[in-house]
A and B are shown apart, each in its own frame.
Chain A
């Protein structure tokens, strides 16, 4: 039976084929064919993923080794896929949400030229392929290949409309920021190879658990911290988060798939995958919790004053990712995975909804020029509202369950973490309903022409919205907390084999909350969130926030001036250094050396050229003299 799981390679194979077909045939294939190939490839791997998930649910986990990827001295790195509970769940999220977004894109990108349409789907398929490699890889090297692949696709898709220079800059920013994290990741992998001689999960993780891996506490601390730095790059945490809001330059479906639902959760996947290591390093866990919480709070405050519909969602994504890292830092790995899943549903829904709005508004993204769209776009309105309710954490929707679990975990660790986490949740509810009310309620504030064109989007756009809205509602019921219904947290049971509880780890140090305490916490947070939602809804429906911000609001609207700070602290000094080296080292020394060699050859050949005078007599004379010299030389050497 196990051998059947060898077919797991089909999952990434389909998107790869889709990439090749669309990429090579983009000039000759019709748009509908490109759309069918692109979406069909993802649908096919979704079907295989469902089948794999069923196998795994039946207790059938497996590591499939296909061939030796790298073999050098004692180090052997196999090209292996690890199929277990964690990766099969991520496969479902990636291919499922990915398929919906591909379908959505066939309509959203339809105005592009055929060639660019094909290029778009090729990139999107390549992205899904890389993401699947990242998740399925059976060792850190395969994961790193996917890790780089998704970074590349992210770069290509942010800069998809490459004719606008600022979009290219955003793409560069994302890529460079990610490189910083990638370097740390790579060093961590080298460190693992150096200390353990292996990179396979199956070799390292059980050995770490047994304490026979050869890693001492310092090694584990350094490795986990480096891996976490890698995660801050990919998953947009402080200090490397600033690329994600700029990444909104890409097409909206890309923002939904890459910069909300899948790629940015790679860091969380990686940490959950190595949870054994992290549980042994309480210091790293504390760092993760603090960084995650700080990111969540910072991004939430920035989102309060953003007026670009996608920017609000982008900062909300950063904030939610911070939440997931808070969960990781408090040792509730399952809650983090749970939130990854629910967040993938409702954030993809919100982004696709915003895409539908932008589509209807003819490319307008400023919410101050929208308003009252509920009348014109019924399906988008309802689904967007569901997304907002889910992210705000209204009971009954998916966000409620996952967020509550994270907050409970934070409370167990420290009430301060809980307090800030709850405050962030309130901010989230506030800015999401500011966004919703400003966009969909009140009266229309755009031009007459725009109003004339307002319409509900076609079925290829509304269908994914409806499916994601349903998932945003029911997605939470796989993780109903213990205190509401005993034994209903099926996700917990499902993922339990992957999460290794270490006796002296931080995860279980704080003990468990009693049911009455949990009821109380949930009650408080729910009540506060409902109050905030009602307040924001009524306030921004009547009087939208269109005035230019002043005072503290201006600082928030300018994102705490973090970009300016980075510019002054890192970018400009680096440019200065580059200029300095250019003037002092490059031009005089290196260029001088290279040009000098050229000049020397030039000069000496000009002198030698004079020998070739064309006078036959001088040639013969030279010949005779040289022959005499040779004879003389031979004569003396003979002695």
Chain B
């Protein structure tokens, strides 16, 4: 399958993520959109990794595999981030009985 398809899918996912973050006010949905962007990047990394592996495996057995390593790191960090982020959202809900991010602009004062 040509690499273009992966790239287009990835861009679509990323843009959905961005628009979601920009337009939604519910913290949980923003959170999910961020995950979407991360996964768009993951997809891209895996796709390019595969491509480079196919092109270079004649020279080197492990060519292009480091992109997949990155993906694992991102997944680990994302998992940690999710746990922290969800905890914050839970605390936020407990305190203000809402998950609306605009409600939090009181922080600036």
Contact = CB atoms under 8 A, between A and B. Distances in A.
Chain B interface secondary structure, helix, strand, loop or mixed?
helix
B83 interface: no
B108 A620 contact: no
B107 A614 contact: yes
B104 A613 contact: no
B95 interface: no
Given A624-B18, A624-B22, A617 B102 contact: yes
A617 B108 contact: no
B22 A614 contact: no
A624 B23 CA distance: 13
A615 B22 CA distance: 11
Q: How large is the interface on B (under 10, 10 to 19, 20 to 34, 35 or more residues)?
A: 10 to 19
B106 A617 contact: no
Per DSSP, chain A at the interface is helix
Contact of B22 (A612, A613, A620): A620
Given A620-B21, A620-B22, A624-B22, A614 B108 contact: yes
Contacts of A617: 21-23, 25, 101-102
Contacts of B22: 617, 620-621, 624
A614 B25 CA distance: 14
B90 to A, nearest CB: 18
B23 to A, nearest CB: 8
A616 B106 CA distance: 11
B104 A616 contact: yes
Nearest to A616: B101
Nearest to B101: A616
Interface string A600-639: 0000000000001111110011001000000000000000
Contact of B102 (A615, A620, A621, A624): A615
Nearest to B30: A616
Contacts of B4: none
A621 B30 CA distance: 13
Nearest to B23: A617
A631 to B, nearest CB: 12
B105 A614 contact: yes
B102 A613 contact: no
A620 B31 CA distance: 13
A615 B18 contact: no
The 3 residue pairs across chains A and B that have the minimum distance between CB atoms? A614-B108, A614-B105, A616-B101
Given A617-B21, A620-B21, 14 more contacts: A612-B108, A613-B105, A614-B105, A614-B106, A614-B107, A614-B108, A615-B105, A616-B101, A616-B102, A616-B105, A617-B23, A617-B102, A620-B22, A624-B22
